[in-house]
Amino acid sequence: MPIVQISRIQHRRGKRTDLPQLAAGELGWVIDEQRLFIGNGTVSDGAPAVGNTEIVTAGSSAFTTALNHTYKGYLGDQTPITTSVSRTLQKRLDDYVSVKDFGAVGDDSTSDVTSIQNAINEIYIDTDTTADDDKRARRILFFPAGIYRINTSLKIPPYAHLVGEGPDKTIIRNSGNNPVMITQDDEENLFGSIGNNSATTPTQIQISNITLRNTVAYGGLSIDNATKVYFNNCKFQGSYSTLNPADDSNSKGVTVRSSTALPCANIVFNQCQFTKFARLVDMSMDVTNVRFTDCDFNTAYYGAIIGDEWDSSTTDGMSVGPRDVQFNGNSWSTISQQALYVKPQQTVEAPSRNIISHGNWYSSTVGNNFEGVGSIREVPIIQYDQDECSSIMDFFERSDLRRADGSSELNAAPELQGIGIQDKAIKSITLTDATTGATINEYPALAGKGLRIKYKIVRGTLDRTGELVVSASTNGVSYDDTFTESGSDVGVELTVDQKTDGSSVTNTVVLKYTTTDTSGTPGDATLDYQTTIIA
């Protein structure tokens, strides 16, 4: 626009409290705060409002006064949404807290443990100064991508909500002889003192999109006297190597510690990864309602070991042991020993634990001492030495056979061993017309177990519904087939026998069928069956 007039610019100086209404274009220098203002002018001269406008300088508190933010959403630079209000940029940025605001660097070189702990304490503990607890302070603490080096456990208090940018992006790397994270109460009391002086015990803790890495043979996470703990899309990574397979009870991906008065409960791991610990999960103390859903377990001596140290007669926090622990839809691979091992009680009768494996995938690399399928040192994939445990619709990639006299190179390595029930998925097979003694399925290492097969056979317009109950031992196999047919005999006989390997009898039970020759009518039959094994 053309310049029509240039006027002399006046200026004033003084303290902030003495700043007057400045004339149009007049400058006012605030000496005590080192801030500069200019007069707006009058509305009649074209100013949007009478007042003074601050000119941003090094001394300006720009985030609190000069700059404002109004949410506009999909309108972009158009008119603000009617419900939006103008807020200072300082308030807007305070909605979002980063560990870098407290000095954390994340360069895998700088020690970040003090900065991160200060951030956690500032947000979730130090602001808790009133009896009512200031809930506004419990904001999400964000960890930008990077490797945050620590040398002692991060202590996680109640209501902590930590979020990173994803596994192997945001990494907390511990080099100390302790877990990467442990829980504490809101008075910073640790295990053994949690809850003292009416402190709030660890609860409502959420952690997501972070890798917890321990570079020494210690743990990833210890959940101490905590309830309502949720991990989503996290990775727990240790330093365990398969080159020298051995157990190490210090190397635990996840464990719990409880007292009888303050047991752990309601713990959820969703879409998490557990890798390179001697024991990926190790729980012996009192804990109830634990869920592992859509997780990946790999590279360990044990997968999940439950109740290894349980002893209700001598130890506080072990009055009942782990109960109601479920593994749903997970994958398991490269595990030397059992993927899931529920240990027996040691001194007195333990209550039912209700450990459940449902819809899991167990690779052929589980339970063979890292020696591959067929190792002479294979062990069960799941071992339940407590009652009320079950395997439901799990998939086992490994299948092993063994001779009854033990002369085979292959060990007795069933899918499930101990005290438990195993429900397999429904299968369907065509029973060929005019066939004698054809194999339907094999059940390895079944000696000493019970087998129940529910089935339905359809052949043309005929059908049969029944249940085949099998008892297997080293002395042989016996079975009973109870069924109901609609109309005439379907012409199918189901039999059960032990498999032979050359001249030796194995512990593998074989389900077979024989069909009558119908000369093409009704011809082949269809068998749908579902198997339950009682270990």
Closest CA to 356 of 379, 322, 380, 333: 322
The residues with which 531 forms a beta bridge, in sequence order, are 453
Whether the pLDDT of residue 229 is over 80: the answer is yes
The pLDDT of residue 353: 78
From residue 96, how far is each of 139, 167, 233 by CA, in Å?
7, 21, 21
pLDDT at 198: 92
Query: CA 441, CA 419: separation in Å to the nearest integer?
Result: 23
The arithmetic mean of pLDDT across residues 159-174, rounded, is 98
Given a contact cutoff of 8 angstroms between Cβ atoms, the answer to whether 518 and 491 are in contact is yes
74 Cα distance to chain centroid: 36
Checking if the pLDDT of 68 tops 80, the result is no
Position 66 scores a pLDDT of 45
**Residues 301 and 330: beta-carbon distance below 8 Å:** no
- Which residue, among 204, 201, 145, 210, has the nearest Cα to 181 in the 3D structure? 210
Categorize the per-residue pLDDT at 444 as very low, low, confident or very high, splitting at 50, 70 and 90. Answer: confident
Rounded CA-CA distance 378/279 in Å is: 18
Contact 144, 211 (CB under 8 A): no
To the nearest whole percent, how much of the chain has pLDDT over 70? 87
* Structure confidence at residue 206 (pLDDT): 98
pLDDT tier at 1, thresholds 50, 70, 90: very low
Provide the pLDDT for residue 76: 59
- Does 313 score more than 80 pLDDT? no
Q: Residue 63's pLDDT band (boundaries 50, 70, 90)?
A: low
Question: ∠308-182-321 over CA atoms, to 5°?
Answer: 30
Q: How far apart are CA 389 and CA 441, in angstroms?
A: 25
In this predicted structure, the answer to whether residue 411 has a pLDDT above a threshold of 60 is no
Per-residue pLDDT, averaged over 179-187, amounts to 96
- pLDDT given at position 465: 97
Span 119-139, pLDDT tens digits:
999 999 865 555 456 676 788
Bridge partners, residue 269, by sequence = 231, 292
**pLDDT score of 71 more than 80:** no
Query: Could you say which DSSP state residue 352 is in?
Result: P
pTM over 0.75: yes
Nearest to 503, CA basis, from 405, 412, 411: 405
Task: Evaluate if residue 219 carries a pLDDT over 90.
Answer: yes
Lowest mean pLDDT among 97-111, 147-161, 218-232, 512-526: 512-526
State which amino acid sits at residue 149. R
Q: What span, in angstroms and rounded, lies between the C-alpha atoms of 220 and 321?
A: 21
* pLDDT for residue 13 is more than 50: yes
Judged on CB neighbours under 10 Å (0-12, 13-18, 19+), 2 is exposed
Residue 70 binned pLDDT confidence (cut-offs 50, 70, 90): confident
DSSP conformation letters of 242-286: TTS----TT-EEEEEE--SSS-EEEEEEES-EEEEEEEEEEE-S-
In sign, the C-alpha dihedral spanning 141, 144, 147, 148 is negative
Please report which helix (H) or strand (E) contains residue 55, including its range. Answer: strand 52-55
Position 61 confidence tier, pLDDT thresholds 50, 70, 90: low
Q: Which residues pair with 39 in a beta bridge?
A: 24, 52
- What is the residue-averaged pLDDT of the chain? 87
Q: What is residue 5's predicted lDDT score, i.e. its pLDDT?
A: 53
Read off the pLDDT of each residue in 76-89 and give the average, rounded to a whole number: 68
Residue by residue, DSSP assigns 162-199 as EE-S-TTTEEEEE-SSS-SEEE--TT---TTTTTGGGP
Q: How far is CA 221 from the centre of its chain?
A: 12
